């Protein structure tokens, strides 16, 4: 997921996307703990996507506050 794509979303959509990604991250961690995770690189990718969404949401929040 690219930051440019995220900047087109509204703040509410970003919050929804963040919840969705955090749920996915939880499931991936659970799979890793039980030995069912096939692609461990997915953890890193999902963590970065969560951070990217949070960064764009913070930027939009600051812009709205001006």
Predicted confidence (pLDDT) per residue in 3-57, tens digit: 899 999 999 999 999 999 999 999 999 999 999 999 999 999 999 999 999 999 9
Residue 1, pLDDT score = 78
pTM, to two decimals = 0.90
CATH code of residue 39: 1.10.287.310
Task: Supply the range of the domain harboring residue 43.
Answer: 3-65
Going by pLDDT thresholds of 50, 70 and 90, the confidence category of residue 62 is very high
Residue 36, pLDDT score = 96
Concatenated DSSP letters of 4-66: HHHHTS-HHHHHHHHHHHHHHHHHHHHHHHHT--S-THHHHHHHHHHHHHHHHHHHHHHHHH-
Say how many domains are in the chain: 1
């Amino acid at each position: 997921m690219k930051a440019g794509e995220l900047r087109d979303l509204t703040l509410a959509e970003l919050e929804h996307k963040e919840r969705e990604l955090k749920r996915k991250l939880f499931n991936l961690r659970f799979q890793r703990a039980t030995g069912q995770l096939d692609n461990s690189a997915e953890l890193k990718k999902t963590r970065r996507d969560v951070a990217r969404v949070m960064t764009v949401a913070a930027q939009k929040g600051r812009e709205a506050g001006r």
